[in-house]
Amino acid sequence: MTAAHDDDDAAGGTAGGGTAGGGPSILTGTDATLSDATLVDLVAEHVRTRPDAPAIEGDGPVQTYAELWAHAGRMAAVLAEAGVGAGDQVAIWATRTAPVVAAALGVMALGAAYVPIDPTYPASRVRRILEVGRPKVMVSAEPNALAGSLPRGVATVDTHAGPRDAGALVPLARQDHIAYTVFTSGSTGQPKGVLVGHRALVNYLGWARELTGFEADDATPCFASLGFDHAVTCLWLPLVAGGSVQLVPDSWDPRPWIAPRERPFAFVKITPSHVRLFERIARPDYRAITRTVMFGGERLDAALVASLGARVEGIRLLNHYGPTEATVGCTAYRFDAGSGPAEGVLPIGEPVWNSRAYVVDEDLRPVPMGEEGELVLGGNCVAAGYLGGDEEDTARFVDEKAVDGGAGREGARAYRTGDRCVIREGQLHYRGRLDEQVKVRGVRIEIQEVTDLARSVAGVADCAARVSQSALGGIELFVVHHAPGGTGAGDTDDKKALVARVLERLRAELPAAAVPERVLVVPNLVANAHGKWDPEATRALADEGEEGTGS
């Protein structure tokens, strides 16, 4: 996975002569030369040269590269017998187990795409994914339990199936094949399958390996949902680099991976929501656990990093950004405990290898440096599109020539993120979603402004907001009470006092329409299987507890 670099671009240079206050808002990633290898080819190289090296830990006995490859070969054989071939979709009931990893590797070896389905997803979402994805096969450790709920014509395969004498696995995948399909929410609120090809994936993993300093014999934990592309980094980067992945069964139990290690993990990838939860229950000393902390999945506040104090001193910190449609992550900001901004939101940094970031106006023209606009991504990071294609595919994936003024890149595609960004001092800064400006009683409101102010109130450990589902359609604010002693508890009077303080601050800073119509005190902000805030589940907690009102 070695790539040649143009060192002048390594820091993310500007295109078109862009400088602060001058040229167009364009950043370019390092120009790296990639081989024709697929993810499967890269794993196969370690099978050939280091067959006895550990590949998977944490799910029973340590599994070597040779054992993983043999299991993948058996899965490929049984899937091929079921009619799976290049270009097909194969659903996988994605528990964090070694057989699931082998199944995904076997799927990709055939030139097919694996479609991870998190077992914690609601049944309605699973049905929707299967209806849209139309997989030829569903792979599961318990296929009989799923057989009655699968669409007609979808066969089931056990993760332990396959002939013991399957023979040597010969990868059939090419770089233009789709490696995986991850479902994410579309603008209609329905899940949409994002198609990610091997070339984009190999480009990303090579960049991420350099970014994290991952070396052969290193390890990293994987506790994210495999149905979320957050897990792609933790799962596949170790295996294409000759290291090992520690599979952690419970996303919200840090005990399997927070113990000090003789050889620290190369990196731990974690959402800010995970960090906040783990701070309340464990306060990990990251210095003893890992060489790098990679934050991702949500915006990163400087206050959260500061709250970790000395426990992140001396290790590498990364703010990793990217929509699923840009192959896991397409930019990163590198900093350490003493070099990042002291307040506000951390930058999202510089583009991945062989990719470009444009900040554009409504006509897709790059705005001058220092001005805000929509972030559009071009180059190797861009996914192949949405499964099945539709109007949203056409709206989101555009011809890159339409973005860069027709300067070249014939046939290349770009992705409109819908995120507002600005480039300052060679770094991308995230400013929120284009659609976060909501109208409440005729007034345009930025929800992020509400939560930033609320978070600054003494006693607020965390908060989140949304447009209320009530007839008034105002803002609904959820706050986590930080009681004295850091227990997160507090009596009713304490909670009422907290609500009063929050409302006092917001009324002092915001127009009346932006003041929440309801402030609800909750024990915590519930996160979904992807590690992101789940408003409905949090609202259910609030229904059982105290609430205050801003009306």
Query: pLDDT category, 549, cuts 50, 70, 90?
Result: very low
Cα 351 from Cα 31, distance rounded (Å): 11
- Work out the percent of the chain whose per-residue pLDDT is above 90: 58
- How confident is the model over 133-145, as a mean pLDDT? 85
The confidence band for 356, taking pLDDT boundaries of 50, 70 and 90, is: very high
Query: Where in the chain are all domains bearing CATH 3.30.300.30?
Result: 441-549
Residue 488 reports pLDDT greater than 70: no
Query: For residue 505, is pLDDT > 50?
Result: yes
- The predicted pLDDT at position 482 comes to 75
Q: In the prediction, which pLDDT does 307 show?
A: 92
How confident is the model at residue 125, as a pLDDT? 76
Other Cβ atoms within 10 Å of 498 Cβ, number: 24
Amino acid at 201: L
User: What is the predicted pLDDT for the residue at 422?
Assistant: 97
3-state secondary structure 161-182: CCCCCCCCCCCCCCCCCEEEEE
pLDDT the model gives residue 411? 74
How many helices (H) and strands (E) would you count in the chain?
14, 29
| Position 19 confidence tier, pLDDT thresholds 50, 70, 90 | very low
**In the chain, which segments carry CATH 2.30.38.10?**
13-29+354-434
Helices 98-109, 39-49: axis angle to 10 degrees equals 110
Q: 3.40.50.300, 3.40.50.12780, 3.90.1150.10, 1.10.3720.10: which CATH number matches 39-335?
A: 3.40.50.12780
- Grade residue 190 by pLDDT with cuts at 50, 70 and 90: low
Residue 379 reports pLDDT greater than 60: yes
DSSP string, 180-215: EEEEEE-TTSSEEEEEEEHHHHHHHHHHHHHHHT--
Higher pLDDT, 24 or 145: 24
Of the listed ranges 148-162, 226-240, 328-342, 522-536, the least confidently predicted one is 148-162
pLDDT value, residue 273: 81
Helix (H) or strand (E) run with residue 28 in it: strand 26-28
CATH number belonging to domain 441-549: 3.30.300.30
pLDDT bucket at 460, cuts 50 / 70 / 90: very high
Residue 41 and residue 206: Cα distance in Å, rounded?
14
Minimal CA–CA distance to 47: which of 270, 281, 310, 240? 240
Mean pLDDT, residues 362-387 taken together: 95
pLDDT value at residue 544: 53
CATH 3.40.50.12780 maps onto the chain at 39-335
What is the model's pLDDT at position 126?
A: 83
> Higher model confidence: residue 260 or residue 377?
377
- When mean pLDDT is compared over 64-68, 253-257, 340-344, the highest value belongs to 64-68
**Contact call for residues 206 and 354 (beta carbons, < 8 A):** no
Binning pLDDT at 50, 70 and 90, where does residue 7 land?
very low
Reported as a pLDDT band with limits 50, 70 and 90, residue 281 is confident
Task: State the pLDDT at residue 543.
Answer: 61
Residue 262: Cβ within 10 Å count: 4
Tell me, yes or no, if the pTM score tops 0.85.
no
For the CA atoms of 119, 214, 200, 40, the dihedral, rounded to the nearest 10 degrees, stands at -70
Q: What does the pLDDT look like over 388-407, one tens digit per residue? A: 877 778 889 999 998 976 65
Task: Choose the most confident range, by mean pLDDT, from 5-19, 83-97, 402-416.
Answer: 83-97
CB atoms within 10 A of CB 493: 8
Going from the C-alpha of 52 to that of each of 7, 59, 171, 219, the distances in angstroms are 36, 17, 20, 15
Percent of residues in the chain assigned helix, strand, coil, to nearest 5: 30, 25, 40
Q: Could you tell me whether strands 113-117 and 460-467 are parallel, antiparallel, or unpaired per DSSP bridges?
A: unpaired
Which token pair is 212?
């994290």
Given this model, what pLDDT does residue 545 score? Answer: 46
pLDDT computed for residue 409 by the predictor: 65
Query: Which positions ≥6 away from 308 have C-beta within 8 Å?
Result: 275, 279, 286, 337
- Tell whether the model's pLDDT for residue 469 goes beyond 70: no
Mean pLDDT of the chain: 86
Asked if pLDDT for residue 437 goes beyond 60, the answer is: no
| Average pLDDT score over residue span 224-228 | 89
Determine the CATH number of domain 13-29+354-434. 2.30.38.10
How many CA within 13 A on the CB side of residue 471? 0
Q: So what's the pLDDT on residue 498?
A: 93
Q: How does DSSP classify residue 356?
A: E
Q: Mean pLDDT lowest for which of 242-246, 293-297, 467-471, 518-522?
A: 467-471
Pairing mode, if any, of strands 475-481 and 460-467?
A: antiparallel
Mean pLDDT on 277-295: 93
